[in-house]
Amino acid sequence: MKNVGATEFLILSSAIMSFANVDLSIAALSLGVLAGIVRYSVSHNEKQEKAREIEGAAENFTNIISGLANGMSSKDRDNLH
């Protein structure tokens, strides 16, 4: 039971209420599914932002290294081990 929250509670209560009150059951199911979609999209967006941030940092590092390599004179390049 890793991530039990309001979404799961709404869907479970919808299944239980389906025998007594169909309208309330449909409303709870709709809210539960909508909340699940929102939670998934938020977590997916956070993962995408983190991946972009890592990619940007790697690109900046590459630019810095290539800038340093281009800034060396040919005399310094010959002495580079």
Q: How confident is the model at residue 78 (pLDDT cuts 50, 70, 90)?
A: low
* Stated pTM of the model: 0.63
**Per-residue 3-state assignment (H helix, E strand, C coil) for the chain:** CCCCCHHHHHHHHHHHHCCCCHHHHHHHHHHHHHHHHHHHHHHHHHHHHHHHHHHHHHHHHHHHHHHHHHHCCHHHHHCCC
Question: Of 26, 2, 1, which is closest to residue 15 (Cα–Cα)?
Answer: 26
Q: Please state, rounded to an integer, the average pLDDT across all residues of the chain.
A: 83
Q: Where are the domains of the chain?
A: 6-68
Mean pLDDT score, 13-24: 91
Q: Does the structure show a pLDDT above 70 at 81?
A: no
pLDDT number for residue 77:
55
pLDDT number for residue 73:
55
Q: How far apart are CA 17 and CA 6, in angstroms?
A: 16
